[in-house]
Chains A and B, each alone.
Chain A
Amino acid sequence: MSASLQKGINALKEVIDAPVASYLNSCVHCGLCAEACLFHLETDDPKYTPIHKLEPLRRVYEQEYTLLGRLKKMVGLSKPVTDDELEEWKELVYDSCTMCGRCSMVCPVGNDIVYMVRKLREGMAVSGHAPEGIQGAVKRTVEIGGPMGLKWPAVANVIKKAEAATGETINVDKPGVDYLVLLSSMEIVNYPEYLEALVKIFKKAGISFTLASDAFEATNAGMQIGASDLAKLIVSRIINSAEKLGVKYVLSPECGHAYMAIRWEGPNLIGRPYKFEVRHVLEVLDELRQKGVLKMKDKFKEPLILHDPCQIVRRGGVLEAPEPLVQTVAENYIPIVDKQKWNWCCGGGGGASAIHTEEAEALRAKAFRIKKRQIEENGVNTMVTFCANCRIVIEEGFDHYGMNTQLLGLTELLAEHLED
C-alpha cells in the first residue's frame, strides 16, 4: 500500500462517526437517491447513483468499524480499497457530484448522503485522488490568496472603480465598523458591479463596512477539495482579520460555498465559535427590506425565474430571504416547480466548475439541461440568481446551448432599481 493511500484511508477512518455508521447501515439499495441526482437523471447512467459514489467509504467503514467486517478482513474475504479504485472514483466524487445535497432530501431512510460525500473527499484529497483543476485552485488559494490567483491590487482596482461609479469612499482595513465585506474571486474578475451595488445599498441603510487587504477572498477551495487542514488555514485568514478589526459582522458574498465554509464549517474547523456573526448578503438585504429601507424606484418588467444556489438555500438555510427580495424588484416573477430547498443545481458547484477536463465539461453541459428545461418550460428569457459560481456555470451553459437568456445577480438587480 502506498503511503498516500494509507494516509487517505486513515483520513477516512478519522471522519467516520455515528451518523455515517447509521447511514451506511440503513441503506436498502432502493435507488431513490438516483432520482434526485441531476447527473444520473441527465445521463441515465446508474454509476451516478449518489449512494454508489460512497462505496470506498462504505468499505473502509465495514472493514474497520464492524465486527463482521473485521473478521472478513482477517481471513482475507474483504476487498481492500486501492489507489486504482480511488482514481476511478475521482469522477464520481468530484466531476459528477456538486455536493448539492438534493439526494439527502429524498432518501427514505434518512441518509445524509452529501454529509458523507464531504467526508469521503477528505480521504480522496489526502491520497492524491482529487482532480487537478481543484488541486490547482487550492494551491493558488493557499500560496497566493485566492483560487484564481488574484492579489490585493486586483481588489484595489475594483474598489477604485466602485468609488468612481458611486462617488463614495470605501474603507480598507478600518477597525470598529459594522461589517467586514468579503468578495469571491469570480466577483472581483467577472462581477465587480456587486461591490458597487453593496456600496449603494449600505449607504442608504447607514451601514458602515470595510474591506480587509489581508482577507478579501471568501471562497474556500480547501473545503471543496475536502482537505480540512487547508480549509482551516484559508478560513482562518478571515477570522483573524475580522477579530483583529473588531467588526460585528462578516458579510458573506453571494457565492454559495463561501457561505458554507465561513458560516457553517469555519467554527468547526477552528474548534470554537467566532467573536463576530456571519451573515449572507441576502439575509442582510431581506432585513433591510423588512425595515423598509430597500425601496425600489421602479421594477424589472420582463418575466423571470429564480435559481436558488444549493449551498446558500438548501444546505445553508437562507430559505426565506430570496423570494421576497425578488418579488420586491421584479414585476413578473414566476415561481418554478422545484424551488427553494428543492431547486436543481447549476451543475458546477462543490468545486466541479474548476475541473476542466473534456469529460467533466461534457458532463456538466449534459447536467445543465435540467436548468435549460426549467427556463424553457416557464417561457422566460431572464433568470436571476445569487451565487457567482452558479453565474459562471449557467452562463457557460447558455453559451453551450446557444441560448439568449440573460442571467442577473440579485444584489445588483436590487441596487439598479433602488430608490435614489
Chain B
Amino acid sequence: MNEMQFLTWVRGPGLDIAIGIFLLGVLWRLIEIYSLGRKVDVAPGRHRDGASGLHTVFRRSVPPPGMVKRSPVTYIGGYVFHIGLAIIVFLFEPHIILIRDLTGLSWPGLPSQVIDLVSVITLGAMLVVLADRIKKPVKRYLSTFEDWFTWTLTFLPVLTGWMAVQHLLLPYTTMLALHILSVELLLIVLPFTKLFHAFTVFGSRWYLGKINGHRGVPV
C-alpha cells in the first residue's frame, strides 16, 4: 500500500467504519446508561423543580468560588484545551467542508493562521495538563491506563493535523492520512472510555441540578 492508497483507505472505508462504530457506540452507551432510569422522588419538593436541571448544566461550566485558586492548572488548562479543540474541530475550513459533505450543514470558518495558533495553544495546554497529571499526587493517584491512553488519542489528531498543515516531518499525504487515522481511532474509542463524558456531562449535570433543586439547593 503506497501513501496515496493509504490516504484513500482512511478517507473511504476507514472513515465509514470509524463513524459507524462511533454512532452505534454512542447510541448503545446512551441507552445502556439512561435506560436504567431512576425512582420518582415522592418527598414533596421545596419549590417546584422548574429548570433546576438545565440551570446546573450551564452553571457547572463556571468554576465555583475559590476553586480556580485551588487548582489553577486544571481550570485554565481545561478551559483552553476544550475551547481550542472545539475551535479546531468546528471552525477549520477543511473540517467544515467534510461536515458539509457528510451532513449538508455548513457555516463560516476561521482563517488558517488563526487555527494554526489555536492548535499550538491547544497542544501546549494539553501538555501542561499532562504534566499536572504526572505531578499532582491526587491526579497521579487517580490515573489509570485509560487516562494516559485517552490523552494520547486526543493529542494525536491535533498534533498530526497541525504537522500536516505545516508540512513537517512527513510528506503531506502521509501526514494527512495519519491525521485522519488518528481521528478514526479517537472516534472508535470515545464511546467506551472516559471521553464519553462529552455526552454524559449534560445528563450528569442535569440529574445533579434536578436532585438538589428538589430540596431547594441551587448547585
B33 — nearest CB in chain A belongs to which residue?
A21
Tally chain B residues at the interface, Cβ within 8 Å: 56
Closest residue to B144 on the A side, CB-wise? A29
Could you tell me if B138 and A34 are in contact, using CB atoms closer than 8 angstroms? yes
Task: Report yes or no: A40 in contact with B36, Cβ–Cβ below 8 A.
Answer: no
Cβ–Cβ < 8 Å partners of A40 in chain B: 138
Told that A26-B201, A32-B74 touch, could you supply 19 new A-B pairs with CB distance under 8 A?
A: A16-B36, A17-B39, A22-B34, A26-B204, A29-B139, A30-B78, A32-B67, A49-B138, A49-B141, A65-B36, A107-B60, A109-B197, A109-B200, A110-B60, A110-B205, A112-B208, A267-B42, A315-B217, A341-B217
Measured in the bound complex, the distance between the Cα atoms of B203 and A29 in whole Å is: 18
Q: What 0/1 readout, one digit per residue, does chain B (18-51) give for beta carbons within 8 Å of chain A?
A: 0000000000110011111111011110100000
Do B201 and A110 have beta carbons less than 8 Å apart? Answer: yes
Could you tell me the distance in whole angstroms from the C-beta of A365 to the nearest C-beta in chain B? 22
Contact of B42 (CB < 8 Å), options: A22, A112, A271: A271
Report the count of interface residues on A (CB-CB < 8 A).
Answer: 60
A68 to B61, CA, bound (A): 30
User: Whole-angstrom distance from the CB of A316 to the nearest CB of chain B?
Assistant: 6
Contact A30 B74, beta carbon cutoff 8 Å: yes
With A17-B37, A27-B197, A104-B219 given, is the CB distance from A112 to B207 under 8 Å? yes
Interface assignment of A324: CB less than 8 Å from any CB of chain B:
no
Of B42, B65, B139, B192, the residue contacting A342 (CB under 8 A) is: B65
Interface status of B100 (Cβ within 8 A of chain A) = no
Could you tell me the distance in whole angstroms from the C-beta of B33 to the nearest C-beta in chain A?
Answer: 4
For residue B197, which residues in chain A have a CB less than 8 angstroms away from its CB?
25-28, 109
Tell whether, in the assembled complex, residue B43 and residue A268 are in contact, meaning their CB atoms are under 8 Å apart.
yes
> From residue B79, how far is it (CB to closest CB) to chain A in Å?
10
Whether A18 and B35, one on each chain, are in contact in the complex, defined by CB atoms closer than 8 angstroms, is yes
Q: How far is B38's CA from A34's CA once the two chains are assembled, in angstroms? A: 27
The smallest C-beta distance from B167 to any residue of chain A, in angstroms, reads: 34
CA distance A268 to B70 in the complex (A): 37
Q: Are A17 and B42 in contact (CB under 8 A)?
A: no
Docked-complex contact B138 and A46, CB < 8 angstroms? yes
Given known pairs A30-B78, A316-B215, A319-B217, the reply for A49 and B207 (CB within 8 Å) is: no
Q: Mark A259-293, 1 if CB is under 8 A from B, else 0.
A: 00001111110011100010000000000000000
- When distances are taken between beta carbons in the complex, the residues of chain B under 8 Å from A110 are 56-57, 60, 201, 204-209
Measured between beta carbons, the chain A residues less than 8 angstroms from B144 are 29
B142 interface residue per 8 A CB criterion? yes
Task: Render B130-152 as a binary contact track against A, CB cut-off 8 A, 1 for contact.
Answer: 00000011111111100100000
Q: Which of B37, B63, B200, B217 contacts A25 (CB 8 A)?
A: B200
Residues 157-187 of B contacting A (Cβ, < 8 Å)? none
Measured in the bound complex, the distance between the Cα atoms of B67 and A342 in whole Å is 12
> Does B92 lie at the interface of the complex (its beta carbon under 8 Å from any beta carbon of A)?
no
Chain A residues with CB under 8 Å of B41's CB are: 268
Within the complex, what minimum Cβ distance (angstroms) separates A164 from chain B?
A: 38
A20 to B71, CA, bound (A): 26
Report yes or no: A109 in contact with B217, Cβ–Cβ below 8 A: no
Contacts of A47 in B (CB 8 A): 141
Quote the shortest CB–CB distance from A194 to chain B (angstroms).
24
Interface presence of B95 (CB below 8 A): no
A18 B34 Cβ-Cβ under 8 A: yes
Q: Which residues of the other chain, B, contact A335 by a CB distance below 8 angstroms?
A: none
Give the residue of B32, B70, B74, B207 whose beta carbon is less than 8 angstroms from that of A67: B32
Residues of A within 8 A of B (CB): 16-23, 25-32, 34-36, 40, 44, 46-47, 49, 51-52, 65-68, 104-112, 115, 263-268, 271-273, 277, 314-319, 337-338, 341-342
- Residues on B with C-beta less than 8 A from A17 are 36-39
Instruction: Tell me the complex Cα distance, A40–B141, Å.
Output: 13
Nearest CB of A to B42, in Å: 5
Q: Which residue of A lies closest to B192 (CB)?
A: A68
Considering the chains assembled together, what is the distance between the CA atoms of A318 and B141 in angstroms?
Answer: 36
Known contacts A18-B34, A267-B43, A315-B215; is A111 also within 8 Å of B204 by CB?
Answer: yes
Interface CB pairs A-B, < 8 A, 12: A21-B36, A26-B200, A31-B138, A35-B71, A46-B141, A49-B141, A109-B204, A109-B205, A110-B60, A110-B208, A112-B208, A273-B42
Query: Which residue of the partner chain B has the closest CB to A48?
Result: B138
Distance from A203 Cβ to chain B, minimum over Cβ atoms (Å): 28
Verify A109–B33 contact, CB threshold 8 A.
no
Separation of A111 and B71 alpha carbons in the complex (Å): 18
A108 CA / B57 CA spacing, docked (Å) = 10
Q: Which residues of A contact B217 (CB under 8 A)?
A: 314-315, 317, 319, 341
Residues of B close to A272: CB separation below 8 A: 42
**B108 interface hit (Cβ, 8 Å):** no
Are A29 and B142 within 8 A (Cβ)? yes
Check if B196 is an interface residue, CB within 8 A of chain A. Answer: yes
A31–B207 contact, CB under 8 A? no
With A51-B142, A105-B64, A342-B65: A319-B216 Cβ-Cβ less than 8 Å: yes
A51, B190: Cα distance in complex, Å: 21
Q: How far is the CA of A315 from the CA of B194 in the complex (A)?
A: 28
Interface centre among A29, A46, A314 (most CB of B within 10 A): A29
Would you give the shortest CB distance from A153 to chain B, in whole angstroms?
Answer: 33
Complex CA distance for A17 and B34, rounded to whole angstroms: 8
Interface presence of B156 (CB below 8 A): no
Q: For B211, what are the chain A residues with a Cβ–Cβ distance below 8 Å?
A: 19, 112, 115
Contact of B28 (CB < 8 Å), options: A23, A67, A111, A316: A67
